[in-house]
Structure formats: C-alpha cells, structure tokens
Structure 1
Amino acid sequence: MFVRPLGAVEHNPTALKLILGGKLRELRAAAGLDPADVDARLGFSRSKTSRMELGRHGCKAADAQALLRLYGVEDEGAVAEFLRLAARSRQPDWWNAFHDVLPDFFAPLVALEGAAAIIRAYEPFYVPGLLQIPAYARAVIESGPARLLPHEVRRRMDLRQERQRQLDQADGPRLWAVLDESVLLRRVGGPQVMREQLEHLAAMMERSHVTVQVAPLDVTASVGVGTGVTYLRFALADLKDAVYIEHLTDSTFSQKPQAVEQYRDMMDRLSACALTPRESLELVRAHIGRG
C-alpha cells in the first residue's frame, strides 16, 4: 500500500495525515463510494470522512480499521502498516510547542517544509529565514507589522532556529534559494550585523545541500516575481508539491496543480536568469569586503 522508505516524512505528523488521507480517498473511490456514503455506513459525523481524506483530521485506530474493512483491504501487513503510520500521524508536531508565536497563516509552511526533498525560495527583501543568524533574525522580526513583547521576539527567534536545524538532518531537505540583489545591499540590523550575516551566508553557500543564487536587479525587474515565494518539492508521489506566498498579515498556501505549475515555471525562469552559484558566492564575498 505504501512505497517505502518514507524518510523524513515518518517524523512529520502533518505530512503523514496528508498521505494517509490520500490513500483513504483512493480506496474509497475504488470501492465506488462517496464520502457521505461512508459517513452514513460507519456512523461518522457529517464530513468526517472528507476531513480525514484532506489530512485535517487524524485517523484513530478504530476508524482506520473500519474504513479499511469497508474498502475491502484484507492484507494483514498492509493493515498493520496503515495503523502504525496512523498512530504516528496523531503525535504532536514539533512546532506545536510554538503555538503562542506561530501565526495560523505561517503554520502550513512550517508544518511541511521539513518533509520536503527540496525547498526552493525567492526572497526579494531579506536573507531567507533558514539562513539567518540570530541578530539578523531579531532585526527582521522586530521590523514586522506586529507589536511584539521581548519574550515574543525571543520565541520567534527560537522557532526560526528550530526550523534551521532541519537542514542539518541526514534526510533533511535541500535548500535552493534565489535572492534579489537588493538583499545584499539592505543593511538589516546595522553594518556589523549585516557583515556577520553575509559571512554566514557565504559559509552556508559552501555546503552541498544549500544552493544560493543572486538575481541582479534587471533580472528580477524583467521576470516580474513581485513577492517572496517558497516552493516545496516532495520526493513522494503521495505528497503534492506546494507553494507558499507570504503577504503582510496573511499568506497563500496552495497545492493546486495549476498554481504550483505556474510558480515552478516562474522559479525556473528566475534561476536560469540569475547568477550561477559560484558567481553569486563571489558577489556575496565582494559585499563582505566592502563592509
């Protein structure tokens, strides 16, 4: 029923919910049933089947067994594997500990980025959060629209560092970021903080799982991106690729194929026009030298 290994996905309850929900949807369709039929036959509350299939509702063991039995799944190994993953999917996500400072609109990205094979990002204003040093992150957080107390700023910094640790995992995602050239010119936090940030950025650019390109100003003007974009590419066919576009006080998160394809095409065009990773590293070092 499942293609193994699942890798980092096994440790991501949100991703597991989506995968299990997709499997349940496939099994239901193959059985010729619609969600309302299933709810009625199993005595579920209205829309419970749909919520499980969309990954919005965890699947309890009793519910999973009833669903698999209804759909005609009799293989004991397949049932046991489904139940094992269903139990893992009901474990709390690591980021739940930061619910006090994690905006609802940001949660979809944080929930799934650790399960991605590749995180592609375009940043027009700042160094990507996954590559920020603490002092730079503090300056970015404090410049936001929300009026935050000191402990809230620290909590958001801690959340950002926890997200960064996922890049160091053996099965963690690759990061491929394109920065607008203006990011290197914008002295966030002051000259010393910016110098330290660029030094850290240069060091990260030397790592095998991090690719950074700088897009000259005339390139970003012609491609017409307009805002920051994060694109999550998953290795498993059971997880749909996703795009995340953050606005001032909310965001757009989509796994709709048409939207995802449009942003993937845009990211491809932008990467093709940007400086190469080696040229980008040389430019970052040049800015450090001018600091």
Structure 2
Amino acid sequence: MDELHRLNQGARAKAWWSDFKNDVSNAYLAYVGFEAGASEIRQFQPLAIPGLLQTQAYAESLAHAEHDPDALDSLVKLRLMRQETLRQRSTPPREIFVLDEAVVRRHVGVRRDRTIMPTQLRHMVSVAERSEQINIRIVPFSVGSHIGMLRGAFTLLKFDSGLGELLHIECGDLHETVTGEDPRISDVHADFKAILEEALSPAESLSFITDVADGMR
C-alpha cells in the first residue's frame, strides 16, 4: 500500500467525512479523503456540474434522480461540506474544471423549478470570479468530437510534499481510485491537456455560461 493510501486511512478514522460512512460507498468516501488533502484538483465532466460547484438545489435535483430518497439529505450535505471545507483551508487547492457544453445546456431541475439551472450557472460564474484558485472552462459544441467524449468523467488530484498523483474515475455510483505508477494516470494527463486545448478561455467560458443562464429565463 503506497503512502497516499496510508495517509488516507489514517485521516478517515478522525475526519469529518467519516460521519457519512453509513450513507455512501467506501470507495467514494476514500476519494473524499484524498480530495480533502489535494493541492490541485483537475476535473473533466461531460454530463453534470461538478460536485464542488453545485448549489444545494442542483445537488438535490441530481440526488432525486440517482439515489435512494432515504440517503438524499446525507449525499447533498456531503457535497456541500466538501466545498466548504476545501475553500476554508488556510491554503485552498487550485481547482480547474473543464465541462462539455452539454453540462451547462441541460436544464436540470426544470420539472421542479425553472430557476434551479440558471441559478446554478450564475453561481458557478460567481465562484470563479471571486477566487483566482478556481478556473472553469467550456468545450463548445462547435469543436465537434473530442477525446473527453470517449474518456468520460475523471478527476486528477495533485499533492504537495512529493506524494504521487491520483486519478479518480466515476461512473454513476461506481468509483475507482488509481494511484502509483498505473499508466492510466499519464494517459489521462495527456487527455486532459488535449481537452483544455479545445476549450474556450476562462473569460470566454464565464461569458458563455452567463449567456446560457440568461437564455433559460
């Protein structure tokens, strides 16, 4: 077992996220432990707003569709606490999110409340504008196909103190964490770089998101 896993196991025994051990999978909880100590978070999402950017209403809408209603409150609380604890750290991590245009176009929550999605989009813009540590990029439909369509959602975590990097792959309720010398980490590095090259600039991306929000009135 490598150093990252040893640190994660020790942290889980005493950290705030251990309160959710009866509500979410061990694999997801292990990822939360790794995320809490990361110095940089890079994530690509082709379908949904990243959990670290979600509003409560958006998170509830997704949870209603994906999970047992009995676990909904805990899942939403966990997502919001992840955001809060990361950004209250003395040295918050750098967060880079690359989203396919489909993520911001899909009107999540429209059957409950038409304001959920435009509010979510404006929240993302506000979060990125308030913090130099948070960067949001959009891959527009106009670029056509791109490697992210085949790769699917993933997160790369970087750590200080010479620790190795980590790859987290998520597909619905299935979570896989990859560490060490696994070649998938370098493969995804290359894919993330390629996806970034297709994305709009940070300023263009925030303007794009705002325009989409305005169109959802």
Q: Which amino acid aligns with 1:188?
A: V
Whole-Å Cα distance in 1 between the matches of residues 174 and 38 of structure 2? 22
Q: Does the 8 A contact of 1:242 with 1:260 survive in 2?
A: yes
Aligned-residue offset at 1:285: 1.0
* Partner Cα separation in structure 2 for residue 93 and residue 181 of structure 1: 36
Report how many residues are paired: 209
- Contact 2:125/2:206 (<8 A) preserved: yes
Aligned to 2:105: 185
The alignment partner of 2:176 has SS state of strand
Given the two structures, how large is their TM-score scaled by the length of structure 2?
Answer: 0.88
Q: Is the 8 A contact 2:92 2:133 kept in 1?
A: no
Of 207, 211, 216 in structure 2, the residue corresponding to residue 282 of structure 1 is: 207
What SS does the corresponding residue of 2:167 show, helix, strand or coil?
A: strand
The equivalent residue for 1:127 is 49
Aligned partners of 1:114 and 1:172 also within 8 Å: no
**Structure with bigger gyration radius:** 1
Aligned to 2:158: 233
- After superposition, the C-alpha distances for 1:220-266 in whole angstroms (9 at most, x for unaligned) are 722244311011011221x2100111123312210133111111111
Structure 2 counterpart of 1:97: 19
1:196 aligned to which of 112, 116, 119: 119
C-alpha separation between the residues in 2 aligned to 1:287 and 1:256?
40
- Matching residue of 2:68: 147
Hey, what's the Cα distance between the residues in 2 that align with 1:268 and 1:248? Answer: 24
Structure 1 segments (4+ residues) deviating >3 Å: 88-91
SS in 2 for 1:101: coil
| Higher deviation after alignment, 153-162 or 129-138 | 153-162
Deviation at 1:184, TM superposition (A): 1.0
Q: Give the match for residue 161 of structure 1.
A: 80
Q: Please, which runs of 5 or more residues in structure 1 have no aligned partner?
A: 1-16, 23-53, 59-87
Q: How many angstroms does 1:179 deviate by?
A: 0.5
**d(CA) in 1 for partners of 2:197, 2:34:** 26
Higher RCO, 1 vs 2 (CA within 8 Å, ≥6 residues apart): 2
SS at match of 2:23: coil
1:143-199 alpha-carbon deviations (Å, 9 max, x no partner): 11x3322xx211111111110011232212111000110111101111210011011
CA distance in 1, matches of 2:18, 2:133: 27
Q: So what's the TM-score if we normalise by structure 1?
A: 0.67
Whether contact under 8 Å (2:38, 2:160) holds in the other structure is yes
Aligned to 1:50: none
| Offset, 1:55 | 1.8
CA 1:133–1:208: 2 relative to 1, 3 Å: same
| 1:251-262 mapped onto 2 (5 Å cutoff) | 251-257=175-181, 258-262=183-187
CA 106–154 in structure 1, closer or farther in 2 if over 3 Å, else same? same
Contact 1:115 1:172 in 2 (8 A): no
Give the corresponding residue for 1:271. 196
